[in-house]
Structure 1
Amino acid sequence: MNIATSVHADTGLVRRTWQADMIAPTVDQGQGTRQSFVAASFTASAGARPKLFISALGLYRAFINGKRVGDDLLTPGWTCYDDRIAYQAYDLSNLVEEGENRIEIWLGDGWYRSQMMWKHQMVLNCWGERIAAIAEIVDGSDVILKTDAAWKSGLSPVTRSGIYYGEDYDARLETLEETGSVDVLDFDTDTLVAHETFPVRALQSNDPVESWRDSDGRNIYDFGQNAGGYVRITVRGSAGACVYVDHAEVLGPEKAFDKRNYRSARAAMRYTLKGEGTEIYAPLFTFTGFRYARTAIEGEAEILAIEQVPISSIREVAGGFECGESAVNRLVLNTLWSQRANFIEVPTDCPQRDERLGWTGDAQVFAGTACWLGDCRTFLEKYLRDVMHDQRENGAVPHFSPDPTRLHRDIFPDDWAGSTGWGDAIVTIPWQLYLHYGDRDILQECFPAMLRWLDYLWSISDGPIIHPTRAWMGDGFSFGDWLQPVGDNRKPRPTIGDDCAATLYHFISNELTAKIAGVLGDDAQRQRLLERAETIRAAFVREYFSQTGRLAHNDQTSYALAFLYDLVPADHFEAAKAYFRSVIEEADYLIGTGFIGTPALLPALSKLGMNDLAEKVFLNRKVPGWLYQVERGATTIWERWDAIGEDGTIYDPDMNSYNHYAYGAVCQWLFEDVAGVQPDPDAPGFARVRLNPAILPALGHVAMWHETGHGRIDAGWRIEGGRAIYTVTIPDGVEAFLPLAGRTNLEIDGHPAETGQAEIVLAAGRHNIGFDVSGD
């Protein structure tokens, strides 16, 4: 029998022709109950090299003759299941035996039907009520086993599991009994696509760095690192004894275990021993975010070992940055750990509480940094397909994707979508993929969705200035500069207005989509969008600039975005620049930006040549500040600047995550401005780079590296005798150019630079560039 596959011409998605049925165990009692399995036997001939193709509604883990298939986690992954579901393929050559073999497919509720969303708007059975499996074992061109009505089902030792809930497992139930049959479901196999990105897998485990007992006799373990993953325990004891493990990100006063910020997410596991020597357990169908684990034992049992197992879709590091300031180095590491913990199938906001959603705003501000630190091409492409599927008919882009609200209007009667700064992910993320990987295909795939989004933005107020509604879930609602700090509540610092923030992003996305239209060769759309962008620009100047060049809200976000995206007119430029400097100095160099302003703040200052301000803001140790978090012991990026107060107080545990990557977007500035390596949109994928380092003397020295499609780029600088020595290594296939403006006494590889040129082109190889620091 021939097993055919097809590749979609526009998306590259791979599908295959299935002979199998999607089968659901009849013993399954529904969401939140004991989990189930399906099983069958098959015969393999001598020398067989069979391959398993498999997917599920819910999560699955497969076993051949009692041995686990593969090491992927949380399969088949998380997508908009009503659009497409991933399938995986595994070589079974080392698992099958000549003659009869047995396959078991254990199933879990997973994202498919366990709790989604927060407690007061909880969604159960989001994509369906029945978990099920589909599988084929193929040897050459022959299907030697497929899921069908003849399979049997039974209950597994997993007595309950859920993404937020955690997992309960009773090892006394590991002798599986086939107590039921299966139902063949009405299922469209065209929904199945080959897994689009890297599988979720375990990273190197972490042992506790410290442990202690609380007043109730429970052990608390500190693994020294906040991460997304699970705990693996090695235990010994009597049958029926239980080990209960719950998790926390932070400690309260006197090292008290504090998990209030998990809200309704139980995020715990309960293991019941079978009482047969040493037993090892780690959950099959869940994960959470944590640094600390607390264990309680019921009955006679002893924990012999406990370790933290981080997991991620992005396992390989693609870039690094270090300097002479250790707190900055830890900040970069914190950002990497937040990326790992939240890049688990979907770029989520947080890995711990009853949320863990693919927020578009967080993803769009962080996409550039994400691509510097890891190979995120296929991961973000997959996410964008979910965003496009969740896009509303009117063009509004969801606040998060996959979006449970879209399918449950009984719980979410209003359409919760369309915030500026969030919906713009459909424009900004494809652009970052193009810059970093030369991915023109994703621009083409997303372009129609971009146009629909831009038309939706214009429709909010029927014109260039956007006036978002104040209604929380109203049409055109905007999060604005989310969590923008205001300082002293007796005399708060100015913050950007929702209309100004929305209009700024309206311009950004129109201008960027015009560039994309140019890349795609669509001259008509390019001209239309450029004209619209100019209309927005003129309206912005009329609406928000005073005659003296002061922006209406006189806040850091307004100036940063306006300068970074060239919205400041020439006749106001110097005055606005002075106002920008003033609002930062008056804030004592404290950050005054939220989710959309923060990624723009330091790049805007560097663009304006105000690196003295950038240095002071970046290195400020007070709250709000990046290094404040580090010096408070953070090992990941916080959601809120003031997540822990200077007195150790935990701020508002109802909305407080200690593993939110958004503010880690500052690392893009470290790579592109401080280390000075900038991808060129005219030669994307690092075929050409611009070298323009910002020398910040307080950092002492700087070194970065990044693996591109052409090879590794290294760059860094140090200061010697009042001169900056900038060293770069350019791989073959990459052309680098160095702008000459602003550099005095410039030497390249020991020779004075030629004057009268705007830039110098550097060929592949290692180069040493020197210039006076005072000229920076």
Structure 2
Amino acid sequence: MNFQPAAISGNLVSRAWSGEMIAPLSDGGQGTAASFVSRSFEHDGAGLPAELFISALGLYRCFINGARVGDDLLTPGWTNYDDRIAYQRYDVSSLLNPGLNRIEIWLADGWYRSPLMWGAKPIPNCWGDRIGAIADLMGPGGVLLSTDTSWRSGRLPILKSGIYFGEIYDALLENPMETHGTERLPFDTALLVAHETAAVRELQPLAAVESWTDDDGRTIYDFGQNVGGYVRYTVRGVGGTEVRVEHSEVLGPDRHFDNRNYRTAAAHTLYTLRGDGDGDDETYAPHFTFHGFRYARVTITGNAKIVEIASIPISSVSEPAGGFTCRNPLVNRLVQNTIWSQRANFVEVPTDCPQRDERLGWTGDAQVFAATACWLSDSQSFLRKYLRDVMADQREDGAVSHFSPDPTRLHPADFPGYAGSTGWGDAIVVIPWVLYTHYGDRAVLAECLNSMVRWVDFVWSISDGPIVHPPSHWGARGFTFGDWLQPVGDNRKPRPTIADDCAATLYHFISTDLLAKIAAVLGEHALEEQMKQRADEIRRTFTNEFITPAGRLAHNDQTSYALAFLHDLIPQEHHEAAQRHFRQVIVDADYRIGTGFIGTPALLPALTKLGMDDLAERVFLQEDVPGWLYQVSKGATTIWERWDSMAPDGTIYEPDMNSYNHYAYGAVCQWLFECVAGISPSPSVPGFAEVIVDPAPIRGLSPVAAHHDVSQGRIEAGWHCSGNEVTYVLTLPEGCIGRFRPGRRHQNPSLNGQPVGEEAVLPPGTHQLVFSLPES
């Protein structure tokens, strides 16, 4: 086929465009009816190959001769549109007819100009106030059709749509007329790159598990699973009847519908039946929005009935890449909850939540969850695309945005200072390293290196030295979220929490030390040495500032100990004393979690590293609040934003900031794979070419089974305990080797019946490792 060649830069693909970006003159602006652009054309090459290249300002759906092109959702996707915009490529050969054909492109506000940000002053028209489309239809001989001002436009039956708003659709207005022309928009086609990750698509529909009618005659459907997606239903009735669908994640204590935590997001759909008089069924689902929900409340105004209804989850990561099961059903459900939260929030961007007036790509959430994301799904292209948005949002002084794509960057007068928090901005260092270790992606390290250096230099500059003293006010340069939502227990005698300066300095070290390793991988030896020296300085000054001569950390809280031990910031002479303090802090908390967003992923790995398996088991398996299994015992089907999102009596916590679909605390799944199941990617031989084998069995979980799909095939690991004896079975595919070094918890180890010395290398195949645990 004589198609135009594409230009490739890294893994970004661009092309030469014949089409122009055209705007429908029917468009009334943000918040008004959606529009279409259309063109009829003659085609005499039926049966020959044809491809459509297409993109838009806003969101689009395309139809040729009335048939939808592709099944991708929310195209062209969400990026920093001033940096790059995705285009899609479709084989449309089967949609073209000999003779006259018609192409129609539907356009709506989408992320491009829907109001974004929470509260009373959202940002409309963030990246622009004109929607538009660009397309090239290509055949074997070249261009068959391109967008230009000969195209016509008109308004759609979608009377309003928005990311937070939802959608209003009037079927009485279907078969809209071409009423206006089009206008060429100034546009740089160099911004257009091929879609960088998997498209958003529908997952398997979920049927309602229960339904009932409330006191006002409205039907409430429980789909049994909190999702990111939408409701699709089939309805039969009289023309002009309205069907309103509202969404919620939870029910109040008396089973009343409660979506106060959506804040200002209307998050609803309104469908008006066409009712053509023949009693035909009408099926509707929103076109240009999505919701976070488990429950749907349906209000019918007029004469109609629902014939069929389903919840339709959507995601950019549809295929699982890993699984973990054990004998505890609450733990198994916790893993499933994490998978569902990842699916719901990995929609083009790793968002915090899919339901309220936020849905933003928070960098802190993404960096703590990145490794778990890679265990549970193939997240390589998804996170690499996200990192490009993070780099596009990085400020001139090196500060990294709190979230990306960042609407505030283009509107600093209204939203100043939305960048520069430690723990959040460190995503630019942490996530590339995760992609390198999991996928052997060296290129992402090189692509992000300059941004990494600018970030660590920015953090040093906050206080002009190794100890970071962040300002306390949001918006001030270097403000930090610290250990966000760290629980304090009884408010009459709260438990200790980490201070901002300690949290910031810990992450200052983490990223600086990691950058030294990244520089070594890339052969940047001068940078490696500079960052090693800087990390050593931070380590020394951390000891002087935050560790007493008796080995107690200054704030004596779980997060401080977990992060400091996990990242080797406790000097050897203080190890024994600091471990005693760490243990006592957890015992004093009655084995309840005392960590927030940055401390939680480190807590159990730190305890495992220190050999305190008894503590790790008690903390993980306790079912009180705060705890991982508490929310599962309360019926959660996704991960909560807050440990106390719901009280034991079912009372909903203050709804102003209370999401029931936040993946951050699901980062514990990394510990389940790497410590409990005992398989980790090797930083020195990345991409699972070498697997570090180091199981840390938790007796209360026996038996355990885990698997993970890598480029070489499937890795499987499992074990069971019989008294103190553990039998561990590992299967490695061709292209993977394992490396096992016995530790204190692996006594008298034998591999395939042979004693193990200091180290064993496991070739591809299935192996049995038997060892004894230390006496309790």
Normalised to the residue count of structure 1, the TM-score between the two structures is: 0.98
Cα contact 1:244–1:268 (8 A) shared by 2: yes
Aligned match of 1:39: 38
Range with bigger deviation, 573-582 or 37-46: 37-46
Q: Aligned equivalents of 1:342 and 1:740: distance in 2?
A: 39
1:48 CA displacement = 2.3
Cα contact 1:464–1:503 (8 A) shared by 2: yes
Which secondary structure state, in structure 2, belongs to the residue aligned with residue 745 of structure 1? strand
- The answer as to 2:408 corresponding to 1:409 is no
Range with bigger deviation, 671-680 or 35-44: 35-44
Aligned match of 1:13: 12
Q: Aligned equivalents of 2:715 and 2:743: distance in 1?
A: 23
Q: Aligned equivalents of 2:527 and 2:2: distance in 1?
A: 45
- Decide which of 400, 417, 420 is 1:418's aligned counterpart: 420
Aligned match of 2:382: 379
Kindly report structure 1 stretches of 4+ aligned residues shifted beyond 3 Å. 1-9
- The answer as to 2:261 corresponding to 1:261 is yes
Aligned match of 1:134: 134
- Decide which of 722, 725, 740 is 1:723's aligned counterpart: 725
What do the CA deviations read for 1:562-621 (whole angstroms, capped 9, x no partner)? 000000001101000110001001100000000000000000000000010000000010
Aligned-residue sequence identity (percent) comes to 63
1:50 CA displacement = 1.1
Structure 1 unpaired stretches of 5+: none
- Decide which of 719, 734, 737 is 2:736's aligned counterpart: 734
- The answer as to 2:538 corresponding to 1:539 is no
Q: Aligned equivalents of 1:245 and 1:741: distance in 2?
A: 57
1:47 CA displacement = 2.3
- The aligned length equals 771
Which secondary structure state, in structure 2, belongs to the residue aligned with residue 225 of structure 1? strand
What do the CA deviations read for 1:671-708 (whole angstroms, capped 9, x no partner)? 00000001100000000011111111111211100001
Cα contact 2:3–2:140 (8 A) shared by 1: no
1:7 CA displacement = 3.7
- Decide which of 446, 449, 468 is 1:447's aligned counterpart: 449
Aligned match of 2:84: 84
What do the CA deviations read for 1:211-266 (whole angstroms, capped 9, x no partner)? 00111000000000000000001000111111000000000021100000000000
Output the amino acid matched with 1:395. Answer: G
- Give matches, 1:571-590, under 5 Å: 571-590=573-592
Q: CA RMSD in A?
A: 1.0
- The answer as to 2:337 corresponding to 1:338 is no
Q: Aligned equivalents of 1:141 and 1:465: distance in 2?
A: 64
- The answer as to 2:120 corresponding to 1:120 is yes
Output the amino acid matched with 1:389. Answer: A
Q: Aligned equivalents of 1:551 and 1:110: distance in 2?
A: 48
- Give matches, 1:535-614, under 5 Å: 535-614=537-616
What do the CA deviations read for 1:101-139 (whole angstroms, capped 9, x no partner)? 100000111000011001223100001001110011000
Q: Aligned equivalents of 2:133 and 2:755: distance in 1?
A: 68
What do the CA deviations read for 1:283-327 (whole angstroms, capped 9, x no partner)? 000001000000000111111011000000000000000001000
Cα contact 2:338–2:638 (8 A) shared by 1: yes
Range with bigger deviation, 641-650 or 38-47: 38-47
Aligned match of 2:477: 475
- Decide which of 625, 635, 641 is 1:633's aligned counterpart: 635
- Give matches, 1:62-211, under 5 Å: 62-211=62-211
Range with bigger deviation, 450-459 or 39-48: 39-48
Aligned match of 2:23: 24
Output the amino acid matched with 2:403. Answer: F
Which secondary structure state, in structure 1, belongs to the residue aligned with residue 748 of structure 2? coil
1:409 CA displacement = 2.2
Normalised to the residue count of structure 2, the TM-score between the two structures is: 0.98
Output the amino acid matched with 1:68. Answer: R
Range with bigger deviation, 132-141 or 473-482: 132-141
Aligned match of 1:320: 323
Q: Aligned equivalents of 1:436 and 1:231: distance in 2?
A: 35
Cα contact 1:137–1:143 (8 A) shared by 2: yes
1:481 CA displacement = 0.1
- Give matches, 1:626-775, under 5 Å: 626-742=628-744, 743-753=746-756, 755=757, 758-774=758-774
- Give matches, 1:360-371, under 5 Å: 360-371=363-374
Q: Aligned equivalents of 1:611 and 1:66: distance in 2?
A: 62
Output the amino acid matched with 2:383. Answer: L
Cα contact 1:599–1:665 (8 A) shared by 2: yes
Which secondary structure state, in structure 1, belongs to the residue aligned with residue 370 of structure 2? helix
Aligned match of 2:437: 435
Which secondary structure state, in structure 1, belongs to the residue aligned with residue 704 of structure 2? strand
1:411 CA displacement = 1.6
- Give matches, 1:351-366, under 5 Å: 351-366=354-369
1:278 CA displacement = 0.5
Q: Aligned equivalents of 1:603 and 1:502: distance in 2?
A: 20
Output the amino acid matched with 1:341. Answer: A
Cα contact 2:4–2:142 (8 A) shared by 1: no
Q: Aligned equivalents of 2:349 and 2:33: distance in 1?
A: 27
Output the amino acid matched with 2:640. Answer: W
Output the amino acid matched with 1:19. Answer: S
What do the CA deviations read for 1:543-579 (whole angstroms, capped 9, x no partner)? 0000100000000000000000000001101000110
- Give matches, 1:173-322, under 5 Å: 173-276=173-276, 277-322=280-325
Cα contact 1:3–1:17 (8 A) shared by 2: no
Cα contact 2:86–2:196 (8 A) shared by 1: yes
Q: Aligned equivalents of 1:437 and 1:362: distance in 2?
A: 21
Q: Aligned equivalents of 1:473 and 1:258: distance in 2?
A: 33
Which secondary structure state, in structure 1, belongs to the residue aligned with residue 443 of structure 2? helix
Which secondary structure state, in structure 2, belongs to the residue aligned with residue 60 of structure 1? strand
Cα contact 1:5–1:14 (8 A) shared by 2: no
Which secondary structure state, in structure 1, belongs to the residue aligned with residue 489 of structure 2? coil
1:8 CA displacement = 4.1
Range with bigger deviation, 171-180 or 622-631: 171-180
Which secondary structure state, in structure 1, belongs to the residue aligned with residue 505 of structure 2? helix
What do the CA deviations read for 1:622-651 (whole angstroms, capped 9, x no partner)? 000000000000000000000001121111
Which secondary structure state, in structure 1, belongs to the residue aligned with residue 226 of structure 2? strand
Range with bigger deviation, 690-699 or 740-749: 740-749
1:775 CA displacement = 6.4
Which secondary structure state, in structure 1, belongs to the residue aligned with residue 578 of structure 2? helix
- The answer as to 2:392 corresponding to 1:389 is yes
Q: Aligned equivalents of 2:195 and 2:727: distance in 1?
A: 46
Structure 2 unpaired stretches of 5+: none
- Decide which of 326, 329, 332 is 1:329's aligned counterpart: 332
Output the amino acid matched with 1:252. Answer: G
Cα contact 1:56–1:76 (8 A) shared by 2: yes
Cα contact 1:164–1:354 (8 A) shared by 2: yes
1:348 CA displacement = 0.1
Output the amino acid matched with 1:651. Answer: Y
- Give matches, 1:513-528, under 5 Å: 513-528=515-530
Which secondary structure state, in structure 2, belongs to the residue aligned with residue 521 of structure 1? coil
Range with bigger deviation, 162-171 or 133-142: 133-142
